[in-house]
Amino acid sequence: MPTFTPLLDSLGRVHTSLRISVTDRCNIRCFYCMPETVRFLPREEILSFEEIERFVRVLAPLGVNKLRLTGGEPLVRSGLPKLVERLAAIGGIEDIALTTNGILLEENAVALKNAGLQRVNISLDALTEETFRRISRRDGLDRVLAGIHAARAAGFQKIRLNAVAIKGITEAEIVPLARFAREQQMEMRFIEFMPLDADDQWDHDQVLTGEEIRREIESAIGPLVPAPRPDPSQPASDFAYGDGGGVIGFINPVTQPFCHDCNRLRLTAEGKVRNCLFSTVEWDARAVLRGGGSDEDLAELVRDCIWNKKPGHGIDSDQFVKPQRAMYQIGG
């Protein structure tokens, strides 16, 4: 029996997964995440590796066992493998993953693997340079592809490719992406376009739904059958190709919210704790970390944050309120 009280919200959801944004900076400018012109946080406002490590050391005995490093683009944070090594040494942490745009992955893959990183999610919204640049407002597709191959060469067994699906832009990319992932023996995940763009241009009519994407793939490649969920709290609905050619996932936060199984909390780059990607309220862990607060103070702050978690994000309701922060400021 555990000797701790799990991190429970008022609905009984147990929280074991922490997403840590290590920076709000990025080397591309995907319009669904951040504006073309942006003023980043001063470096002194960003949590240090020591502060992040302390935060995780407090949460690990409370049941948090999965970490995901995000940004911004986490690999623009100097020395990231050192942070991975520190987090991997914490007792109770069973899984450390990274979400990256892949542009800097080629030169970092080996160091990350050696430091203890176990899984990599790589954003790949398009396989054509024109569409890649239309979304990211930068060049770099060749570097992303090089990063994917470097991750495989470094020995990562679990590599996922993530594509944000946007109506009017990415329809022609769906089947090539699915085929590419099959050829590379990697899992592809398509993500519905969410209202977290900094330019505040999101419209429901731009949502290319997971159901539409699945039909397109079945028409071009072959039938998909529902696959078991290895983790009940995972955001994706998984399907297996009928010919045995791998697994594909669909993350449908707009059309099929999965909040009832959510086990995630988030730490922003400047130390704010959030109980939901779409939360409009934050809890200030940095104030505790830098103000002489105890580990018990940190734990209590996190418990309060989680207890006040809402039943769902409400994108699909008339009461939805868009967060003031964009994706890059929260952590993807």
pLDDT at 226 (0 to 100): 94
At 2 the pLDDT is 44
What pLDDT is stored for residue 27 in this prediction? 96
Please count the other Cβ atoms lying within 10 Å of the Cβ belonging to residue 3: 5
Q: Does domain 17-330 have CATH number 3.30.420.40?
A: no
Q: Enter the DSSP assignment of 157.
A: S
Q: What is the pTM of this model?
A: 0.93
Write down the residue that tokens 């398009």 correspond to.
126
Residue 313: per-residue pLDDT: 67
- With a cut of 50, list the residues of the chain below it in pLDDT: 1-2
**Token pair in block for residue 313:** 């994000």
Query: What tens digit of pLDDT does each residue of 272-305 get?
Result: 999 998 888 999 999 999 999 999 999 999 999 9
Say how far apart CA 306 and CA 9 lie, in whole Å: 5
Cα atoms found within 13 Å of the Cα of residue 112, Cβ hemisphere only: 30
pLDDT at 320: 64
Longest CA–CA separation in the chain, Å: 59
Show the DSSP H helices in 65-117 as ranges.
80-88, 109-115
Residue 327 CB contacts under 8 Å (≥ 6 apart), including other chains: 32, 33, 34, 194, 196, 197, 198
The predicted-structure confidence for 189-219, as pLDDT tens digits, reads as follows: 999 987 766 666 767 778 889 999 999 999 9
Q: What phi and psi, each to the nearest 5 degrees, are found at residue 182?
A: -60, -45
DSSP E strand stretches across the chain: 17-21, 66-70, 95-100, 119-123, 158-165, 187-192, 224-226, 237-241, 247-251, 264-267, 272-274, 283-284
So where are the chain's domains?
17-330
Question: What is residue 332's predicted lDDT score, i.e. its pLDDT?
Answer: 72
What pLDDT is recorded for position 316? 61
